């Protein structure tokens, strides 16, 4: 704990004099060192005590297990809603849908693709979306991040 002005100045001076290496260690090494430090191994190459990074196990459930858990926790209405979204033939428009088929015969793919923002906030996308819905034009949806939400996918450029 920095209690005096002198302690604060000494700490700041120490931070300013620390030199960064010309070349950072590989990302894998940095990650292993962070895990060792967090698990009580002290970081670096020698670290004693604590759990080793090699013994860490992934305890997260698989996607299949999560899907099964969602299905068992869902109501009949929620399951029907998801099926309608996947089919592309839901009664109402929804920003979660990845396609809208309307009266398109089964087996045919929509000829039009609507590129829209992921959050469904873009007013220009919304205007096009409303026209497609009103005219019942079958379309597929590709969602793209706006710049403020992150990088655009590689296929966009």
Structure tokens at 91: 């009664």
- Render pLDDT for 79-127 as a digit per residue (tens, 0 to 9): 999 999 999 999 999 999 999 999 999 999 999 999 998 888 889 999 9
Regarding pTM above 0.85, the answer is no
How far CA 41 is from CA of 29, 33, 50, 57, in Å, comes to: 14, 9, 5, 16
How high is the pLDDT of residue 21? Answer: 53
pLDDT given at position 94:
92
d(CA 94, CA 88): 10
The answer to whether residues 138 and 98 touch, using CB atoms and an 8 Å cutoff, is: no
Average pLDDT over residues 10-35: 60
Higher pLDDT, 104 or 18: 104
CB-CB contact of 91 with 85 (8 Å): no
């Amino acid at each position: 704990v920095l209690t005096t002005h002198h302690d604060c100045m000494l700490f700041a001076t120490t931070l300013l004099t620390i030199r960064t290496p010309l070349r950072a260690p590989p990302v894998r090494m940095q990650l292993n060192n962070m895990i060792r430090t967090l698990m009580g191994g002290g970081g670096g190459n020698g670290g004693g005590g604590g759990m080793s990074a090699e013994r860490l196990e992934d305890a997260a459930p698989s996607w299949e297990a999560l899907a099964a858990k969602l299905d068992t926790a869902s109501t009949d209405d929620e399951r029907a809603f998801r099926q309608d979204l996947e089919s592309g033939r839901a009664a109402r428009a929804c920003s979660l849908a990845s396609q809208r088929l309307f009266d398109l015969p089964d087996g045919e793919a929509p000829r039009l693709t609507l590129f829209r923002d992921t959050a469904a906030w873009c007013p220009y996308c919304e205007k096009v979306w409303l026209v497609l819905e009103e005219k019942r034009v079958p379309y597929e949806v590709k969602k793209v991040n706006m710049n403020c939400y992150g990088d655009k996918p590689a296929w966009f450029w």
